[in-house]
Amino acid sequence: MIDRLDRKILQILQEDATIPVAEIGRRVGLSTTPCWRRIQKLEEDGVILRRVAVLDPRKVNAKVTVFVSITTSQHNEEWLKRFAEVIRDVPEVVEFYRMSGQVDYLLRVVVPDIEAYDAFYKRLITRIDIADVSSAFAMEQIKYATALPLNYVPLEKDKGVA
């Protein structure tokens, strides 16, 4: 369970994971060692999955975002396993979801330009049987966040300083 101090630590780390532990501790009212123990526990418990750098897509030539809707006539575990393997091998796919409704799968693909997307599309359809593919190119990114909302986390009673 997470308490209010853990939640504050998580908020800080979501904003900038490079902030020194001593500074995080200062911001939440803990000394360095107890703060570090809490961060380690959050990692051990799988709350913190990894710490990464968020890159500017324009500066790494991945400025075009495409939302790819996929429907299939194959609704079996073997096909899904194969499809997931194919997608895991494709670096342009940065998000991959199984959906409810008319679309079976939704991909978020980032590429430099339409030609690169076309090459991605051709590689995809040669590797897996798909009934229908629909692509929507994002015209403008209005909001992008990597931080998850933490106000829904059920809090245990404060553990106290440890």
CA dist 17 → 37, 65, 78, 147 (Å): 16, 26, 39, 11
Contact 135, 123 (CB under 8 A): no
CA dist., res. 21 & res. 93, Å (int): 33
Contact 14, 147 (CB under 8 A): yes
Inform me whether the pLDDT recorded for 160 exceeds 60. Answer: no
Q: What is the pLDDT of residues 61-96, one digit of tens each?
A: 999 999 999 999 988 999 999 999 999 999 999 999
What integer pLDDT is reported at residue 56 of this predicted model?
96
Which amino acid, one-letter code, is at 31?
S
What integer pLDDT is reported at residue 157 of this predicted model?
72
Q: What is the pLDDT of residues 14-53, one digit of tens each?
A: 999 999 999 999 999 999 999 999 999 999 999 999 999 9
Q: Say if pTM beats, i.e. exceeds, 0.85.
A: yes
What integer pLDDT is reported at residue 53 of this predicted model?
94
Inform me whether the pLDDT recorded for 156 exceeds 90. Answer: no
CA dist., res. 81 & res. 61, Å (int): 30
